[in-house]
Structure formats: C-alpha cells, structure tokens
Amino acid sequence: MGFDGVADMFRRNVAEHPDTTMFRVEGRSVSWAEHHARAAAVAGALAGEGVGPADRVAFLDHNGLAYFEVLFGAALTGAVSVAVNWRLAPPEMAAVIDDARAAVLVLHPEFLPCLAAMGSALPSVRRIVVLDDPAHAPVDDAGGGPVESRAADRARRVGYEDWLARGRPADPGHRSRPDDVALQLYTSGTTGLPKGVMLAERNIAAMLDIAAGDAFGIDADTVSLVAMPLFHIGGSGWALSGMSRGGVSVLLRHMDPAVLLGLVATERITHAFLVPAVLMALLATPATATTDLSSLDTVFYGASPIAADVLVRCLEAFGCRFAQVYGMTETTGAIVQLAHEDHDPGGPRRHLLRAAGRPLRQVELRIVDPDTQAVLGPGAVGEIETRSPFTMAGYWDKPEETARTVVDGWLRTGDAGYLDDEGYLFLHDRIKDMVVSGGENIYPAEVENVLLAVPGLADAAVIGVPDDTWGETVKAVCVAAPGTVLEASEVIAFCRERLAHYKCPTSVDVVEALPRNPSGKVLKRQLREPYWRGHERRIH
C-alpha cells in the first residue's frame, strides 16, 4: 500500500467511495463523505484554537462517533490524538492530560464531575469542549469545586456543536511525514505510572498494511465490531485496521454481552477483536446459544491468557474461525498471530493452543537473558525482544526510559517466553511478575495454566508473597465457578500432581473476581500490594 498513515487512509477511502457506509452506531449509518465533513469541521475548530501539527488533543468518553470525528479532524491538521482512560480516577485523568500538555480537551457531559474534581488542574488546556447531550445538564450549569475554579473552567468551556460552528469547516490538506506522531496512547500502568506511547504515522501505516491485511484479513466487505475501549490499542488500532480497506465499522458504546450479540446478528458482523474476559462472559450468556452468529468470519482474541477449555468452548459456541494475536501498545498492537489453522484442539498439534503464534511479516523476535542480554536458543525462557516497523517512536517526554526500552532498534517487551523450533512464541509472563522462591525462577503463567484445569475453578492468578524461609512463595488467587466451593487443599493437591512442588501454591485465596485493566490483564501489582506492604523487598 505504500505510506498510508491515519489522514492518508481516511482521505483515500473518502475519495474512492464517499457514499458508502463508514459507521453504523445505534441504528444510524454515516457515510465516508459525511464523516469527512464532520472531521473537517473539527479541523476548522482546532485551527481556530491555534492547534497545529504536533499539538495534543485529548478525548474523554466511551466509544462513539465523536471520538473518530476528533481523531480524524486532528489527523487532517497534523495534531496528535490522546485518548484518556475513562476508568481512571480524576487525579489520574488530570495527570495524563497534563503529561500530554493537551491544548484542547473534548469530553462527554458524563465526565463533568471528574473535570470538577480535577480542580484547577489542566494548565495547558486552552479549550474544554463538552459533547452535546440533552440527557445531561447544560454545559454552563455543570461543574463543582471552588468558585474560582468553576469560573475559570466555564470561561474556556464550550458545547461541541457550537465549537464546530465557530470554525471554518475545511480539510487543511496537511500531509504528515512517516516519523510524525499520530496517536499518543497511555500504557495501562500494570507495572507503574502510565507512560505516553508515541505511535508514528509509519507505525500506523505498517499496522494498516501488514496487520490489517495479512493477519486480520480485512477487505472492503468487512463489517468490523469496535467493542474494546478506544483508549487502548486493541480499540483504536483494531478500529483503524477495520476501516483500512473501506469496510463498515459498528460501534459498541458499552460492553454488554447481550447488546454485543444483538449487534452481531442485526449488523451481520464479520470480524471482531475481543479479550478472553469478554469471551468468558459471552459463554455465560444464555443468548449466545440462540443468537444467529452465522455472519462471523473470524474472532480475534488476545491481551491476556485464555484457558484451553474456554477456547474450545468458544470454537463450538461461535462456529467461526478464531485467531490469537499478541502485541502491546509499544508495538502498535499485534505483531504475533496464532492463525486459525493452528486452532485444532483434537488434532496432533493441539499443543499450539498454548502458543501466542508466529511473528507477522517484517517482525523479528528473539529471546534474551534479561541480565546478560545473551540470545537464547529454542526452548529457553527469557525476555522477548522484537524489532519491526511496528515499534513505537518512543515514550513522550521520557528519553531515558525510551533508551532503556528500545536498544539498537530492539524493543524490550518485559514479557517472558520462549521460541520453539518452528518459530512459535510461547508466553510465560511479565518478567517482573516472575516469582523467585529459594533461588528458583517460577513463571506464574505456567502455574495458572494448571490452575485453570482445576474442576470448579473459573479464573486464577498467581503471585509471589513474602516468605521468611524462601524469600517468596507462590499464592494462588482463585475465582470459583457459580455454585462451586473451592477447597485450598484440593487446589494445592491438584497442582502438586502436575508441577514440581516448588512451583505449586502454598496458599490459596478465593475471591469473587480478579482485578483487571480494560485490556483484560490481571492487575497483579494490586493483588500483591497487601502482602508486600511494610517489606523492604518489593516485587513490582
């Protein structure tokens, strides 16, 4: 496809089929030309605020059309979109917006209380644009906090439609260069404070060419379900991929299994990306068995481990192809795929269901010793490093951290795993999640794979907790299936029949649910925190 970043892809599709449907959302269809007109209005409004190339524009809302109006409007001017995680607490939201030095903040009225709780924060924000919604209070009446803060806040606040009407609605024709930053997405913060990952136009171009084309099989007939949060690469990246060949994108504002199933049936969804937690919720929804899912071509999944039995049940319940993808924000999403051909639970290669897959075109992988950086051979567990056109431009305002993470073009993922003789990648865990007990390295994912086979166990996570003798020991945090009582002794005994004893849990906690971030990853630092409080040695 050649160079084809965000704005280029958008303009090309508008030119090639202006009157075909680009979006379907809440029963409404929007053509490419109609969406371009809205994006051009955003571009004109941004220009009126003095926003230009490389300026940051923050957005705070659930999935919806307005996000893409702002994203493409910013792209037409060369500005950088910053999607803010709506699940954060107000001080955390403010920290992201401040870190990005966003010039404009667009948000839904639902988040006005969060804005009020930020107080006098957001010094870089020149304009606060509130999406018009008649179900909420008028823009000028919402707010809270100190009177002075509310007055200053109202002075820079405007309704979305009024804001669009102020500008000159025209595509300014800005042409980005490959190294220009297109998106700034913030990491989930599972191992520390969120960092702004700068994804360049060249990263997006690689995603639209290689991932969307080779891995996802996107074409002009694709009807893509955009269900994951857009502040995550699994949301924005997947959405842009689905649009890349001019197909239709169906937006799901809130994750609701029943609504999702209804959209698949009524909108004839062909492709979707879902995390394992959502797949498990769908399996537990009775309507899955009676909904017409015949339009589905492929369901892609990733971002967190999935139990083999859950995957087999998905294959049976959905009746379509499944493919796993592995990647991260820093790699612009997917760089490894376990193709649908490798999903053969009853065949001689069923062991591949435990694999993440093989690298996409132009992606290099290697496994290194995290301490010596020596490259390891097949079967040896170490840190996964990758080099490809998907690798981020760097962390915003963090040159030292960028230099530690990307060395000679190789991105240190922080994930542990190994490559087999055929080049399949098998994941173990985050390097920093590794448990070191009595000098032995224990990878939680290995233990979790065994735990997920325990009868009556629905979900599990393994962490290291302090131990006076061994330094650390393994704890299993488990979720019981409905109507089931888990006995710690039985869980431990099950593991001891299948694993070396030093790898097995020495204690078991049963909880109602595991804490997860929006991408479905278990927040292990949150699980560990109570046990390590007050101890000198911290495992992050």
Lowest-pLDDT range of 132-136, 256-260, 301-305: 132-136
pLDDT band at 428 (very low <50, low <70, confident <90, very high): confident
Distances (CA, A) of 23 to 85, 299, 344: 23, 19, 34
Give the pair of three-digit tokens for residue 135: 């179900």
> Which amino acid does the sequence have at 108?
H
The span from the CA of 254 to the CA of 252, in Å, is 6
Residue type, 216: F
What is the chain's alpha carbon radius of gyration, rounded to the nearest angstrom?
24
| DSSP percent split of the chain into helix, strand, coil, nearest 5 | 35, 25, 40
DSSP string, 130-181: EPP-TTS--GGG---S-HHHHHHHHHTEEEHHHHHHHS----------TTSE
Helix 6-16 with 65-77: angle, nearest 10 deg? 110
Q: What is the mean pLDDT of residues 480-487?
A: 92
Question: Does position 203 have pLDDT exceeding 80, yes or no?
Answer: yes
Percent of the chain with pLDDT over 70: 91
- Tens of pLDDT along 386-418? 999 999 999 999 999 999 999 999 999 988 899
pLDDT of amino acid 155: 72
Q: Quick one: average pLDDT of 60-86?
A: 97
144 pLDDT more than 50: no
Read off the pLDDT band of 139 (50, 70, 90).
low
| Adjacent-strand bridge partners of 410 | 407
DSSP element (H, E) containing 16: helix 6-16
User: Residue 196 pairs with which residues in a beta bridge?
Assistant: 186
Mean pLDDT for 498-514 is 90
204-246 pLDDT, tens per residue?
A: 999 999 999 999 999 999 999 999 999 999 999 999 999 999 9
Q: Where are the alpha helices (DSSP H) in 178-220?
A: 201-206
Return the DSSP state at 357. B
Residue 117: other Cβ atoms inside 10 A: 16
- Is residue 503 pLDDT above 80, yes or no? yes
Retrieve residue 478's tokens: 């488990």
pLDDT at 341: 94
| Two tokens, residue 430 | 């985050």
d(CA 248, CA 20): 9
Q: Determine the Cα–Cα distance for residues 226 and 207; give it in Å rounded to an integer.
A: 16
Q: Give mean pLDDT, residues 3-31.
A: 94
Strands across the sheet with 56-60, in order?
157-159, 127-130, 104-107, 56-60, 80-83, 181-186, 196-200, 394-395
**Confidence category of residue 1, pLDDT binned at 50, 70, 90:** very low
DSSP bridge partners of 80: 56
Query: How many angstroms separate the CA atoms of 331 and 384, rounded?
Result: 12
Give the number of C-alpha atoms closer than 13 A to the C-alpha of residue 459, restricted to the C-beta side. Answer: 19
Distance, CA of 294 to chain centre: 27
Q: How confident is the model at residue 275 (pLDDT cuts 50, 70, 90)?
A: confident
For residue 384, pLDDT beyond 50: yes
Q: What is the pLDDT of residue 4?
A: 79
**Rounded distance between C-alpha atoms, residue 149 and residue 155, angstroms:** 10
For residues 441-455, average pLDDT: 87
Mean pLDDT of all residues in 337-350:
90
Axis-axis angle for helices 488-496, 444-451 (nearest 10):
110
Q: Residue 274: what pLDDT?
A: 93
Q: Which residue has the tokens 């009024």?
A: 162
Closest CA to 426 of 474, 378, 363: 378
As a whole number of angstroms, the distance between CA 306 and CA 311 comes to: 7
What does pLDDT average to over the chain?
90
* 153 vs 28, residue with greater confidence: 28
User: Within 13 Å of residue 141, how many CA atoms lie on the same side as its CB?
Assistant: 4
On the CB side of 362, CA atoms within 13 Å amount to 15
Check: CB of residue 336 under 8 Å from CB of residue 405: no
Output the DSSP codes for 409-456. TEEEEEEEEEE-TT--EEEEEEGGG-EEETTEEE-HHHHHHHHTTSTT
pLDDT, residue 135, reads: 55
State how far the Cα of 93 lies from the Cα of 293, in Å rounded to an integer: 38
Give the Cα-Cα-Cα angle 87, 89, 91 (nearest 5 degrees). Answer: 140
The residue assigned the tokens 């136009």 is 201
